[in-house]
């Protein structure tokens, strides 16, 4: 519709996002340029298509000269890109790099890193933090003990959730409708009934395991990090040589992972 900012978000959501940013930064009236630059970036991030300077000025109620000055500065620093035809602006490479950095260095990773490093040394193998991404998991952090073997589960790697201990323990904490969706998206509809029983068992005991399903000669145990609603926010896992630990030693590894998951959840979500 003419005169409106095309966005995947509703106008109400856009107004709320921009007004919240304005409210937060009103406490710093001495830096209005910084505030307005952030408002421009927020508006561009909420839009499905590049916007003209006039549209940005109108949406944010900014002075014309300030709008063009801020856009030039943002363009020079790489946060905004100017598309000469049809004369619009979109997010630049620097903005996307910041987004990617947050994905790999987000608070959950920072909170879990020390525990994962210690557990990796304890097992003489590797530890990982992963999150759900549709029917897959994506690895966001890996810690490796000295001389530990290199695994496929490096940062950024995606694997089918149902093929990993980390993925299964997260899926085990999802509502049934979402569990079915994961099986469907993975092409495993026929395995749902049997797989559901395994997920229920994993949820009840609080962890899942796999042996040589991902890496030959390696086994993994994993626990979920649950948010304040009891949903899986991430998974912590430890991988070590298959058969190198008996049941009591494996239980010790699970205990350390579970304690780490509780610490991360408590700090990140507030005492869950």
Residue 272 pLDDT > 70: no
CATH code assigned to 11-99 = 1.10.10.10
Flag whether pLDDT at 19 surpasses 60.
no
| 26 confidence band (pLDDT: 50, 70, 90) | very low
* pTM (2 d.p.): 0.63
Confidence band, pLDDT 50/70/90 cuts, at residue 152? confident
Stretch 52-63: mean pLDDT: 94
Q: Stretch 9-34: mean pLDDT, rounded?
A: 53
Q: Residue 93's pLDDT band (boundaries 50, 70, 90)?
A: confident
Give residue-wise pLDDT tens across range 117-126. Answer: 999 999 999 9
- Listed by start position, the domains of the chain span 11-99, 106-270
Partners of 26 in the β-ladder: none
Residue-level pLDDT at 102: 63
Q: Above 60 in pLDDT, residue 9?
A: no
The per-residue pLDDT for range 236-261, each reduced to its tens digit, is 999 999 989 899 999 999 999 999 99
Please give the structure tokens belonging to residue 26.
Answer: 């009103």
Q: What is the DSSP string of 193-205?
A: HHHHHHHHHHHHH
Nearest to 62 by CA among 73, 72, 70: 70
Q: What CATH number does domain 106-270 carry, 3.40.50.970, 3.90.1300.10, 2.60.40.10, 3.30.450.40?
A: 3.30.450.40
Count other Cβ atoms within 10 Å, centred on residue 31. 11
Q: How far is CA 72 from CA 38, 40, 48, 83, 223, in A?
A: 14, 12, 21, 12, 48
- Mean of all residue pLDDT scores within the chain: 85
More confident residue, 78 or 48: 78
């Amino acid at each position: 519709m003419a005169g409106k900012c095309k966005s995947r978000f509703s106008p109400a959501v856009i107004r709320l996002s921009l007004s919240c940013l304005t409210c937060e930064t009103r406490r710093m009236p001495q830096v209005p340029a910084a505030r307005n630059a952030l408002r421009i970036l927020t508006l561009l991030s909420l839009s499905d298509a590049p916007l003209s300077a006039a549209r940005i000025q109108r949406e944010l109620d900014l002075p014309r000269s300030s709008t063009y000055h801020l856009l030039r500065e943002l363009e020079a620093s790489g946060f905004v890109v100017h598309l000469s035809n049809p004369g619009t602006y979109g997010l630049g490479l620097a903005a996307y790099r910041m987004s990617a950095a947050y994905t790999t260095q987000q608070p959950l990773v920072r909170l879990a890193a020390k525990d994962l490093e210690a557990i990796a040394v304890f097992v003489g193998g590797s530890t990982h933090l992963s999150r759900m991404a549709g029917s897959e998991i994506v690895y966001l952090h890996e810690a490796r003990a000295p001389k530990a073997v290199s695994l496929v589960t490096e940062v950024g790697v995606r694997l089918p959730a149902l093929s990993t201990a980390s993925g299964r323990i997260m899926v085990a904490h999802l509502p049934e409708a979402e569990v079915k969706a994961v099986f469907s998206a993975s092409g495993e509809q026929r395995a749902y009934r049997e797989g559901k029983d395994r997920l229920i068992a994993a949820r009840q005991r609080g962890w899942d395991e796999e042996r040589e399903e991902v890496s030959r000669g390696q086994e993994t145990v994993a626990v979920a990090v649950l948010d304040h609603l009891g949903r899986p926010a991430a998974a912590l896992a430890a991988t070590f040589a298959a058969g190198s630990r008996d049941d009591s030693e494996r239980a010790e590894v699970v205990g350390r992972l579970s304690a780490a998951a509780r610490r991360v959840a408590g700090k990140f979500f507030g005492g869950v």
